[in-house]
Structure 1
Amino acid sequence: MQENTVVQETTSANQGQISGQNVVRVVEKTETAETKRMKEHFNFFGPVTFLYAVFYAFCMFHNGSGITFPFFLAGTLLYFVFSLSKLEITLKRGSTFYMISILLLGISTFCTDGWAIISLNKLAVFLLVMCLLLNQYFDTKKWNLGKYVGSICQLIVMSFGELGKPFSDGKAYFREKGKVNKKVWYGLLGVVIALPIVLIAAGLLSSADAVFRKMTTDFMNWIRPGNIFNVVIRVTFLFFTSYALTSYLCKRSIPEEVKDRRKGEPVLAITIMSLLSLLYLLFSGIQIFGLFLGKMQLPEGYTYAQYAREGFFQLLAVSILNLILVLVCLSFF
């Protein structure tokens, strides 16, 4: 819940009275319990978000829809669950549906090579992730399609204002905790000292073994400015966007109330949907008798293989039309 703190400072007559009147300054500050926890646990959110970004770069580098795509989605869900546990937010029961759907779409993506299906799968994954986040942080039971679309747009746009949160949270955390542990500095110093030693050792081992030499040569050929820039951009992008999304969600600034616009005459919606359902019933009967039971004559020149395979995108369009109609009926009738 939001905690609104109003600070009033009154300057008395003895402390700079202006025109015989007291000066009142009101400062409004909004902070939630989750934003406080996120700042207090920066030692978790900072490093874990960075590791998640590195994992994303590893899975998606030149491999946007390969076998690593479902692993990236699984890592995304793990990052989401661990973040909720640190924020002391209980995973809602309805979130399980979104998580299973996201994983199934990830598996479907690497099992196909069709660019259209891959694009639709990724769009669906993005929308499901946004809905999962909103469902977890807000009460979405009464939300309709318009409310979801508006909230997703607000979440994306307003998160840009949180891109600086890793710096401010890190500064506040280290200021509160004091100096950084000496072991951290010794660890960083050890990395700096170890790098030249590792390079020398790698050169000696490469000259001693042909297989190891080939592996190191291939690795060095891979380390090109373009590849390094690509990886750095990916890590930077996902680190700041993930942290910013979590930070804005913790503020709980999206209003949960939805106006009830269900004032349409139910008979109108029932008539439209009934006629459409009769058409679908007829179409389904033709599929059952013609394709599965073989009781109907196919058009001349058609094989059962052609008959079974055609019409995918047309039926996809019909499915989208059905979804829109159902959502409209739920929203206005």
Structure 2
Amino acid sequence: MVNNYEGDIPNSDYQGLCEVMVEETKGIKIIKENSLFFILLSVVFGIFCTVCLYKSLSGINIPLLVIVWMFCCMTALNKLEIKIPRISYLYMTAIMLFSISTIFTTSSFSLFFNASSIIFFGYMLLQRNFYETRNWQLLGFLLDILNMIVQVIANIFTPFSHLAACRKKKVAKESKFKYVIIGLIISIPLVMIVLSLLISADSIFSQMFASIFENINFEDLFGISFVFGIGSIGFYAVLAGFASQQNSDNLINIRKGEPVIAITVTSILTLIYLMFSLIQIKYLFIGGVNSLPAGFTYSNYARSGFFQLVFVSIINFGLVLLCISVFKESKVLKALLLIISLCTYVMIASSVYRMLLYVAAYHLTFLRVLVLWFLAVLTVLMTGIIVTIFYEKFNLLRFSLIVVLSFYMVFSYAKPDKIIAEYNISHINRLTYSDVSYMLNNLSYDAAPAISKIDLSKVNMHTESKQTLNSDFQEYFERVKKDYNDRGIRGFNFSSYEANKAVPK
């Protein structure tokens, strides 16, 4: 890896995932020499982190916090004398888009993965600024993530050690400060004894002292302190973790395995997959009802085994990736991996077909939409895997990031809960009480505008169920109004606003 710091920095070999650095990097030296500056920057971020996140995890507060974080990061990188590469602005754009997406949805799934995406691309932004990653492959990138987690944990107490080192430069002030700390420690038990005696001695003083603590919400005090600590200390620890990384031109090269091992394993799997794929083509895609063996109905056959196929497809993806990353080049192995990849396409197609039949019979749910989305992503990623099998210089890491980013961005902004509700309502004559109840209790408020248009008279259910459903609708829209009113300014959310507008008057 090539560091972006200016000046010559000696290279060293990569000797382990979590190798302890003996010699401080230039970045760590700058952070230590300017510890007060970086501590102040961390405190500023910690304050904004507390104001934006405490008891408000979705709304306009998220883009605001992201802007502050990026400002603090750019300020820190400038102080560290790091030249910011142009790709950083692409990462910052992605981070902003994910943060803005949180304003337009109330889906817990989307909010969680938006936050995860912000953290992930924040990591990518810092990683690319601290060292060169353009020639990395996917496995080396994943190993570096594990390494960075260890580095950040190892640097949790770094701001305190840097601050202590800074104080040692001021010997005279240091000695007085030490005595102040000793005095404060001694005063704690003494103050507690004196206060307890005075409180028991005078009832007026006792009431006055009690009234002070009555106005203090210790739960909020602890929560605010915790968020501030995580934000400020975490910011400093992340910077120190990245700055302490090795400056090396050597990539992690683990492709030294004997290909015969992989050939043996993949040969067995290839035979099984070919047999399975032929059955799928004969009975599911081409044959239809008349070609099934006795005792099988077409609908039951098509709807069974879906999740097993998805799981096997994921295993195949990981297996092919592992083989091209760990084992030495072999033409036989490449051919076997190609066959496995093509069989994986058949399994994915079978899974999609089975799921579409299931949706046609039982309507859409969030899980079914999510699985179909995931299979689409997996199909494109398998294409990248096939290219990598025959063209080793293909940057699978960059390809995978672009694919996942693009697909998830579409998924996040598309409001899947709203799409689910609209699709199900378009088949209202086939809906049952449980179908409508699912939309009321399992979908986010993104679906509220569509749900408000449901004509209960067209739903297929008994009179008693319709009466229960009327009550459920009233409770649902009461929750919608409460969610909107409880958000306040920090948590303002367009999806919640639109849901509140859709509440029947």
Q: TM-score range with shorter-chain normalisation?
A: 0.5 to 0.7
* 1:250-283 deviations in Å (ceiling 9; x for gaps): 1123865132745365666777778989999xxx
Distance 1:162 1:33, change over 3 A: same
The equivalent residue for 1:169 is 162
TM-score (norm 1): 0.64
Is contact 2:159-2:233 (8 Å) kept?
yes
Q: Name which of 225, 229, 232 aligns with 1:236.
A: 229
Tell me, in whole angstroms, the C-alpha distance in 1 between the residues paired with 2:247 and 2:221: 38
Aligned-CA RMSD value = 3.9
**Cα displacement (A) at 1:61:** 0.9
Is contact 2:345-2:379 (8 Å) kept?
no
**Cα displacement (A) at 1:140:** 0.8
Distance 1:79 1:115, change over 3 A: same
Q: Name which of 295, 314, 323 aligns with 2:371.
A: 314
Tell me, in whole angstroms, the C-alpha distance in 2 between the residues paired with 1:92 and 1:170: 31
Is contact 1:39-1:169 (8 Å) kept?
yes
**Cα displacement (A) at 1:29:** 3.6
**Cα displacement (A) at 1:143:** 1.3
Residue correspondences, number: 256
Larger helix proportion of the pair: 2
Aligned to 2:105, the other structure's residue is in SS state coil
Tell me, in whole angstroms, the C-alpha distance in 1 between the residues paired with 2:387 and 2:119: 24
Distance 1:322 1:143, change over 3 A: farther
Q: Name which of 109, 113, 116 aligns with 1:120.
A: 113
Following superposition of structure 1 onto structure 2, how do residues 10-29 of structure 1 map, counting pairs within 5 Å?
Answer: 29=22
Aligned to 1:325, the other structure's residue is in SS state helix
**Cα displacement (A) at 1:106:** 0.6
Which amino acid in 1 is paired with 2:33?
E
Unaligned stretches of 5+ residues in structure 2: 1-7, 12-20, 174-212, 256-323, 349-356, 391-505
Which amino acid in 2 is paired with 1:314?
V
Tell me, in whole angstroms, the C-alpha distance in 1 between the residues paired with 2:226 and 2:97: 28
Query: Which piece of structure 1 moves more, 79-88 or 134-143?
Result: 134-143
Following superposition of structure 1 onto structure 2, how do residues 1-333 of structure 1 map, counting pairs within 5 Å?
Answer: 29-176=22-169, 223-253=216-246, 256-259=250-253, 261=255, 262=324, 263=329, 265=331, 312-322=369-379, 324-326=381-383, 328-329=385-386, 332-333=389-390
Tell me, in whole angstroms, the C-alpha distance in 2 between the residues paired with 1:75 and 1:326: 38
TM-score (norm 2): 0.44
**Cα displacement (A) at 1:135:** 1.5
Distance 1:329 1:260, change over 3 A: farther
Tell me, in whole angstroms, the C-alpha distance in 2 between the residues paired with 1:48 and 1:82: 8
Distance 1:55 1:138, change over 3 A: same
Is contact 1:2-1:30 (8 Å) kept?
no
Tell me, in whole angstroms, the C-alpha distance in 2 between the residues paired with 1:247 and 1:136: 13
Which amino acid in 2 is paired with 1:167?
F
Distance 1:222 1:2, change over 3 A: farther
Is contact 2:62-2:99 (8 Å) kept?
yes
**Cα displacement (A) at 1:312:** 3.5
Aligned to 2:143, the other structure's residue is in SS state helix
Which amino acid in 1 is paired with 2:96?
L
Query: Which piece of structure 1 moves more, 103-112 or 142-151?
Result: 142-151
Is contact 1:34-1:87 (8 Å) kept?
yes
Tell me, in whole angstroms, the C-alpha distance in 2 between the residues paired with 1:329 and 1:139: 26
Distance 1:245 1:268, change over 3 A: same
**Cα displacement (A) at 1:128:** 1.3
Tell me, in whole angstroms, the C-alpha distance in 1 between the residues paired with 2:376 and 2:146: 24
Distance 1:65 1:327, change over 3 A: farther
* 1:13-41 deviations in Å (ceiling 9; x for gaps): xxxxxxxxxxxxxxx94111111111111
Is contact 2:45-2:235 (8 Å) kept?
no
Distance 1:279 1:56, change over 3 A: same
Aligned to 1:30, the other structure's residue is in SS state coil
Tell me, in whole angstroms, the C-alpha distance in 1 between the residues paired with 2:68 and 2:57: 15
**Cα displacement (A) at 1:141:** 1.2
Larger strand proportion of the pair: 1
